[in-house]
Chain A
């Protein structure tokens, strides 16, 4: 009996040591491997509660097992004493758990306030005040100052970056309002910087979670949740959606690429310069296809998507149109993963994805909506997929400006212009007076059906039926009256070269490519205008 009991004494501690060993030795998105102040606070709190829970566990389970064995029925035993209760004991074991719970509640309340978006700020401010004015009254929250001053002092001293996270079924949009940067599925941030997040959803409820850096905050449609994190050291951290959000919830992941301040600046400059590797051969065909096959309707390649376009894409999704918000692909090839963090970005993965996205990510909107997967006439051939892959992999700065290791080898020759800060979105320009050669309506019909990057006919009908853009039936007659001071020809010219100057009611602004000035020759432009004026 004695021997048995002394072995039992070792079983429980050994068991817990074993569990601890399992906990700390595991996985690269473990919450035990906290790499930022928010996750560290949350982990500390867990250990406090866990410690108390182990204490309670040992005492109560011990009492249970002890009394079960100690009072097991012995042969010939009579009726045990019929005791009915003991009031002092009852009071004691009502108060004892209450004390343990107070021990948990106090640190909990403190951490609630100093890890929340607003509370964190207030607390940081208060610490600074304390330093400058030691007479300040000490509050419950301040009492912790003595332990936390160093960390929080840093927090207030370090820079802050604001990022708007917009969750979509089933990918992530990250916007940096301060820098005019929009990227998707890969959040790049500098280390030791407080990242203030605004969380928005385009469709259903999602939840934003980076196990190593911060616990979850849900993302609720029609409201904005705020939270923040700090990453202590550069590295690539896994993030994921934690709230069930539909069929591909499993496939809604992302990466947080934490860089040194200078590496981050370099990436930022590269993005803003928006120069890409030289587009030759296959890639050039891919560039044409990207526009011609309609990819460009949902994926922007040259800087952030305007909020109006995003809104019109969102509305289009709810109407059931074949346009939806799609991940921004600017500088796509600088990313480490693809398809919302589910696969490393490699030629073979990208090829498989473009061939059949449904295979990798069931229910995805690209498969559901894109013409190339729904219209057999537009379906991508293997060569076209190869060309698109080649093109997408040129979407990176021409020099190796990014310090993060990327699996993509540079494609084509790499001339070395210095990246410079460029205006990310072109200013709306006033129509330039043009002298066009005489147009040929018959040649214009051909241009209408084949213009690059996307043919006019893709979005505009000539028979009054509605498309993504307004129908051009009898446009010649109506164009005259559109904008005072512009003749029909001038109005049409303006609408082609600067589509946002006048947008027809009920159609989204910014959807039509603004690159026809470069892609059409003057003759082609004149021809297509001549053709448009003849439509009845």
Chain B
């Protein structure tokens, strides 16, 4: 224990580092926790941008015949709102959790490829900037919807650079997602602590694994489509040029073959988070663990067989519509199984209404509504009246906002003490929840009705005699409640990260390994890699093999109990010397990932100027890769 004490001393005496050094250390970091924080902060900033876009949309629609924004701007707004929320908000917040939590949950010191992990983040950032490049450069943002239906995306129907930014941005983001997903697949399969069999993995790790497999299988599909759009627009190919004989339906099949697994990419991390939060805050193990896990796997597979339910009205024929009706309805079964198991987990438990638990309950409440409205358009004849109306907008927001986003908030509050070492303000958290819960229902529920009474999607205004004004006004008021709730959230996070109470290792009486180490975890996570004997290793350490023995910790004095103080209390982020002093080898920082990522960004941005200019970016990229390959793995090898 002497080395540990020394490490604490050194941590406390260390002089305050210079600002430049701090920035440099973040730029070159390969630590999964720091990369996770970068992901989280960046994604929340993008999330706010997309939220502001939504508020402008809601302001425009609050009244009939509104002229607040012109149609072109409106089309860019709804396109960018969807793209930003999906690819730059919800997905990367999920990835942030993969980074922050998965290695801790499986008892690993980092991910399998730390520099690749850094590359994922920096490529994500350049892809995000590229996707917003039309706005940043003033050349015009994408305006054909996030679904970008061909042949509307072709000349002469869409001119300008917007859709070029769309394809370039998403292509670059795809690189980031693929790199990250491969990294997590390898990490989860290879780097679990001894004893953690696949069926002992925490559900969140399972959902991460499934999501990662979906990412590496779904993104190649959209990549093909994006390259086709890009080539049609920039090099005059005819993939979607109907004048040259193309069928525009090809794009719809490509897009939704990617698009539906993408929906599960957005929701599965939230399902995983809720499967962690509910047991922890009910003080019970997850009910029906194998059923919850297999439901997730089944959803992952079935997600590939339902894409045509986005195309029930395109005229694929009775047989195709019937088949996709049945596959779509089947997918409701594993989803239902998950919900029943969460309720059964709470049954007989000891539920504490902390902020994360409230969000998890809110998630289930909203997700049920979203799931049920989903069943109403699994039926093609009913869907014929719902497709492309606000009813669909309502459904998708109940699932993606009421589902994914609320689930991710549960995770943010749940792991905030672990990541920052401090507690958030519980009252503000609860206020955030109730405002958000009220706001989201007020925003999205009236959309069901206004859709069924005939209001289509993607219209920039509507006539007063349509009778939709009341519903739209309600939605707008709700949207501003949501906006207000985010301000409370941001205030709470920023303030608590600096001034919150010390959280300690285990504020929630947690069940999984991350609660056995200090908050925030030291750079090397685990001073000693733990051995796992069950699905709830941290719980067992506290309450014994039965999980019921409240006095177990005091009475037992085996080596297992040491796991609870795995690593020096209060050491925070150690420098490399800390790890070294413990004899732990950690990877060195590297600036090559950001150079390679800049290569991607520059190549994309210059493509707009002229395709050949992107050779400059490609050169940077290739040189970066050489530098990366030639870089010694760690300082010792100099």
Contact = CB atoms under 8 A, between A and B. Distances in A.
Interface of A: 19, 22-23, 26-32, 39, 41-43, 45-46, 49-50, 53, 56-57, 60-61, 63-64, 67-68, 71-74, 77-86, 89-90, 93-94, 97-98, 101, 104-105, 108-109, 111-113, 115-116, 118-119, 169, 203-205, 207, 209, 211, 214-218, 220-223, 225-226, 238, 240-250, 318, 320, 342, 362-363
A97 B248 CA distance: 37
Contact of A101 (B143, B243, B329, B385): B329
30 contacts: A30-B453, A42-B381, A49-B375, A53-B375, A60-B340, A79-B283, A81-B348, A82-B285, A84-B285, A84-B289, A85-B289, A86-B344, A89-B340, A93-B336, A97-B332, A101-B332, A101-B333, A101-B375, A104-B378, A113-B318, A115-B381, A215-B383, A216-B387, A216-B388, A222-B245, A243-B388, A244-B149, A247-B72, A318-B156, A362-B70
Interface residues of B, number: 98
B448 to A, nearest CB: 9
A81 B381 contact: no
A250 B460 contact: yes
Contact of A81 (B353, B368, B462, B548): B548
B53 to A, nearest CB: 17
Given A214-B384, A240-B456, 14 more contacts: A26-B453, A39-B385, A41-B381, A42-B381, A67-B347, A82-B547, A101-B333, A203-B151, A207-B388, A211-B454, A216-B384, A222-B247, A250-B459, A362-B70
A76 to B, nearest CB: 11
B453 A221 contact: no
Nearest to B342: A64
Contacts of B144: 244
Contacts of B380: 108, 112
Interface string B329-373: 110110011011101101111111100000001001100110011
A49 B291 contact: no
B388 A221 contact: no
Given A221-B242, A320-B156, A72 B381 contact: no
Interface of B: 70-72, 75, 143-145, 149, 151-152, 156-158, 242-243, 245-249, 282-285, 287-291, 313-315, 317-318, 321-322, 325-326, 329-330, 332-333, 336-337, 339-341, 343-344, 346-353, 361, 364-365, 368-369, 372-373, 375-376, 378-385, 387-389, 449, 452-454, 456-463, 465-468, 543, 546-548, 550
A362 B71 contact: yes
B315 A220 contact: yes
A243 B157 contact: no
B341 to A, nearest CB: 8
B334 to A, nearest CB: 8
B325 A109 contact: yes
A67 B343 contact: yes
A61 B368 contact: yes
Nearest to A250: B459
A64 B361 contact: yes
Given A29-B466, A90-B337, A248 B376 contact: no
B389 A242 contact: yes
A85 B290 contact: yes
Contacts of B288: 84-86, 89-90
A71 B351 contact: yes
Given A82-B284, A247-B71, A217 B313 contact: yes
Contacts of A49: 375-376, 379, 382
A79 B550 contact: yes
A78 B381 CA distance: 53
Contacts of B247: 220, 222-223
A159 B463 CA distance: 35
A222 B457 contact: no
B458 A203 contact: no
A342 B465 CA distance: 11
A113 B317 CA distance: 9
A242 B387 contact: yes
B281 to A, nearest CB: 9
Given A30-B453, A109-B325, A115-B381, A80 B283 contact: yes
Nearest to B372: A53
A23 B152 contact: no
A45 B459 contact: no
Contacts of B149: 204-205, 243-244
Nearest to B331: A101
Contacts of A245: 152
B228 to A, nearest CB: 16
B467 A27 contact: yes
Contact of A221 (B151, B463, B467): B151
B69 to A, nearest CB: 12
A71 B350 contact: yes
Given A64-B343, A116-B318, A28 B384 contact: no
A225 B151 contact: no
A115 B381 CA distance: 8
B350 A79 contact: yes
B180 to A, nearest CB: 31
Contacts of B550: 78-79
Contact of B379 (A97, A104, A211, A222): A104
Nearest to A240: B456
Given A28-B467, A217-B315, A68 B291 contact: no
B308 to A, nearest CB: 13
B337 A93 contact: yes
- Shortest Cβ-Cβ A-B pairs, 3 listed: A215-B384, A29-B454, A225-B315
B292 to A, nearest CB: 9
Contact of B75 (A30, A61, A85, A247): A247
Contacts of B347: 67, 71
A117 to B, nearest CB: 9
A49 B344 CA distance: 26
Contacts of A169: 157
A112 B325 contact: yes
Contacts of B453: 23, 26-27, 29-32
A194 to B, nearest CB: 17
A407 to B, nearest CB: 15
B285 A73 contact: no
Contacts of B548: 79, 81-82
B375 A104 contact: yes
Nearest to A215: B384
A211 B283 CA distance: 51
A227 B145 CA distance: 27
Contacts of B465: 28
B387 A215 contact: yes
Residue among B353, B384, B548 with max Cβ neighbours from chain A (10 Å): B384
Contacts of B337: 90, 93-94
Nearest to B337: A94
Contacts of B543: 79
Given A23-B453, A111-B381, A205-B152, A85 B291 contact: yes
A105 to B, nearest CB: 6
Contacts of B242: 221-222
A56 B344 contact: no
Contacts of B71: 247-248, 250, 362-363
Contacts of A43: 385
A240 B247 CA distance: 24
Contact of A50 (B70, B249, B376): B376
Contact of B336 (A97, A203, A242, A243): A97
Given A60-B339, A222-B242, A80 B284 contact: yes
A299 B130 CA distance: 44
Contacts of B449: 19, 22-23, 26
Contacts of B72: 247, 362
A63 B352 CA distance: 17
Contacts of B326: 105
Contacts of B385: 31, 39, 42-43, 46, 211, 215-216
B321 A112 contact: yes
Contact of B145 (A46, A118, A223, A244): A244
